[in-house]
Amino acid sequence: MSVVNAIRVGFLLGCAALARAAPGADELRPFETRYDFVWRDMNAGSASFSLQRLSDTEWSYTSRTQPRGLFSLFSAANATLQSRMYIGPGGVRPLHFSGRQGSSGTTTAEVSFDWEQLRATGRFDGAEVDVALRAGVQDDLSVQVALIYALATGTTPTGIALFDKSGVRDYEYTQVGAETLRTPLGEIATIIYRSHRSNSPRSTRFWCAPAYGYIPVRAQQQRNDEVEWTMELRQLHRD
């Protein structure tokens, strides 16, 4: 699995299957973060994320991965993803997802979400997509915002539904503990959540910080008992 796919599939979390309607979007604040990415004990590079408010109900979320060392040889590890989404009384709904990779900015994804017709259409990783939607489905980026938003507004996520070119993948989502982490921002108290797909050997844990609007401070994917990658927060700015 490439670095960027690991980030997309693992770190970008699962969607928050909302147990109730979400409150107004004024409880969500724009932010910028940067993480160090370690792949099997190797410093593979960094990933940055930026959440911006476009209007009362529309937001954009952008991720950029910057590989380091040998990982720079893989164009897929140098990627920019962007999701435009609605956030309001109905919760978080993706509207458009795009992906670019390499220094040339080659397009890897352009997907539009039609919530009236309940279809997601476009291109994703070189394939034409036309996928049926259901309430709560997220793309690779809106999924993280949906989780943060749900936790910040007092909703307990119980499941994950993530859009894929082949359909929709479902994950379980549970709280598994708490830990105070030492970070460049100081010691931060976190709550640990775990996502797992049925019959998969992989699981992903997220250390979310209530004091920082539940933005993840650490994320880590394991295959059985072996750690495959870890991401650690290095910078955080919130408006």
* Bridging pattern class, strands 167-183 and 159-164: antiparallel
107-133 residue pLDDT tens: 889 999 999 999 999 999 888 999 999
Yes or no: say if 56 and 25 are a contact pair by the CB < 8 Å rule: yes
36-83 residue pLDDT tens: 999 888 888 899 999 999 999 999 999 998 877 655 545 456 789 999
The rounded distance, in Å, linking the Cα atoms of 130 and 113 is 10
The DSSP call for residue 55 is: S
Q: Tell the residue number behind the tokens 């920019």, with chain if given.
A: 80
Q: What percent of the chain is predicted at pLDDT more than 90?
A: 52
230 beta partners: 38, 220
What the chain holds in terms of domains, given with CATH numbers, is 3-238 (2.50.20)
Query: Letter for the amino acid at 137?
Result: V
Nearest Cα residue to 47 out of 234, 175, 196? 234
185 to 63, 146, 182: CA distances (angstroms): 21, 24, 8
Yes or no: say if 83 and 97 are a contact pair by the CB < 8 Å rule: yes
147 falls in which pLDDT band (50, 70, 90)? confident
Segment 142-155 mean pLDDT: 86
